[in-house]
Amino acid sequence: MRRFCSPPLFTALKLLALSDEVVPFIYSGQIKARFNDVDLVIACGDLPYYYLEFVVSMLDVPLVYVHGNHDHRKQRMSNDRIATHAEGCVNIDGKVGTFKGLNIAGLGGSIRYRPDGVHQYTESQMWRRILRQTPQLIGQRLLSKPLDIFATHSPPFGIHDGDDRAHTGFRSFLKYLDLFQPKLMIHGHVHLYREKKQPVTQYNQTTIINIYPYRLISYSPHTGQFA
């Protein structure tokens, strides 16, 4: 995976998190003025590649992303290019990487609610994806480099999730939080205008935020806190 330089010590990092919906003022020339001090962009799924490519080209900072249940494997771009990934961005779905000095793990997709659905997983399938990340996450903990951010599309079961099958969260994510104790978990998938849910929940050491459709988050290396 690509690695990016760490920020100077004690300088606050600004993260722009995106999910689920193309926000008109972000997909416009206003993005530079509104987010000129953003250091890193994290996209939590259900977003077209053209939007991610626009954001990364305008802000010129690392952009990492996971997939949502509505993301097609191939997307036709305006120049007729068939895209299998977002150019200039880093797909961290199912992976762990270090960006701007932060350890980030990504697990996209939603609970399986259609047998042929793309980026949909049963709990057993999600467990298999978690197990593939486990050696790297354990290795980092042994090196005193704990997980900073867990970026997903779906919420955990019982936290910010919905009552219908498609918006039910993963029980395996609760175990993930117990095992790896990330400081921050960000997700989308549950649209807050439909669901009258709190966007922020504290779960043990982890602050969980539904970032739909975007959210600015700052991180202080001095305190190790996200806000």
Cα separations in angstroms, 211 against 17, 101, 115: 6, 21, 28
Q: Give the length of the chain.
A: 227
Task: Tell the smallest beta-carbon distance from residue 80 to Zn ion (Å).
Answer: 27
| Nearest CB to Zn ion, comparing residues 46 and 148 | 46
| Nearest CB to Zn ion, comparing residues 95 and 189 | 189
User: How many Cβ atoms from other residues are within 10 Å of residue 57's Cβ?
Assistant: 12
Residue of 46, 53, 93, 148 that binds Zn ion (CB under 5 A): 46
| Nearest CB to Zn ion, comparing residues 103 and 154 | 154
| Beta pairing, strands 214-220 & 13-18 | antiparallel
Residue 68 binds Zn ion (CB under 5 A): yes
Task: Tell the smallest beta-carbon distance from residue 101 to Zn ion (Å).
Answer: 29
| Cβ-contact 83, 77 below 8 angstroms | yes
| Cβ-contact 119, 109 below 8 angstroms | yes
Residue 93 binds Zn ion (CB under 5 A): no
**How far, in whole angstroms, is CA 33 from its chain's centroid?**
23
Classify 211 as helix, strand or coil.
Answer: coil
Residue 109 binds Zn ion (CB under 5 A): no
| Nearest CB to Zn ion, comparing residues 46 and 93 | 46
> Distance (Å, rounded) from C-alpha 164 to C-alpha 182?
27
Residue of 67, 160, 183, 189 that binds Zn ion (CB under 5 A): 189
The residue range among 9-17, 100-108, 135-143, 183-191 that interacts with Zn ion, by the rule CB under 5 A, is 183-191
Residue 120 binds Zn ion (CB under 5 A): no
Prior bond to 213 cis, omega within 30? yes
> Distance (Å, rounded) from C-alpha 97 to C-alpha 117?
27
Residue of 19, 69, 172, 210 that binds Zn ion (CB under 5 A): 69
> Distance (Å, rounded) from C-alpha 35 to C-alpha 90?
20
For 133, the token pair is 């990340």
| Nearest CB to Zn ion, comparing residues 68 and 155 | 68
Task: Tell the smallest beta-carbon distance from residue 153 to Zn ion (Å).
Answer: 6
Residue 183 binds Zn ion (CB under 5 A): no
Number of residues that bind Zn ion (CB under 5 A): 4
| Nearest CB to Zn ion, comparing residues 34 and 114 | 114
In the complex, the residues that contact Zn ion under the rule CB under 5 A are: 46, 68-69, 189
